[in-house]
Amino acid sequence: MLADTRLAQPVGTRPSPVGDLLVAGWPASLTVALIGLTLGFFAWYAVVVPVHRGAFAEFALLSGLALGVALVLALWIGYSHYFSRRAK
């Protein structure tokens, strides 16, 4: 026998991705963010460092770190939604 575990939500509200991150807890969110920082750093190191442009390299490092975190968090949220749909 299967039990329906979906909780009732107020009409007109949509769950936010930020809420999904908070439900997982701060250790999981921090771990995923650190993975994004690592990904952004190594992407910067592999793509930008060989170019040797001073100001561009500094801007690219900051941008790469931010984009790495955003990309990994977006992928984590997407995977969690996919997994929750498959697990129903």
- Determine phi and psi for 8, rounding to 5 degrees: -70, 135
For residue 46, CA distances in Å to 64, 67, 69 come to 11, 15, 17
Angle at CA of residue 48, ends 44 and 50, nearest 5°: 125
Q: What is the pLDDT of residues 5-61, one digit of tens each?
A: 555 555 556 666 666 667 777 888 889 899 999 999 999 999 998 887 888 899 999
Is 64's pLDDT higher than 90?
Answer: yes
Query: How many other CB atoms are there within 10 angstroms of residue 39's CB atom?
Result: 17
From first CA to last CA, the distance across the chain in angstroms is 13
Domain range summary for the chain, segments of one domain joined by +: 21-86
pLDDT at 38: 96
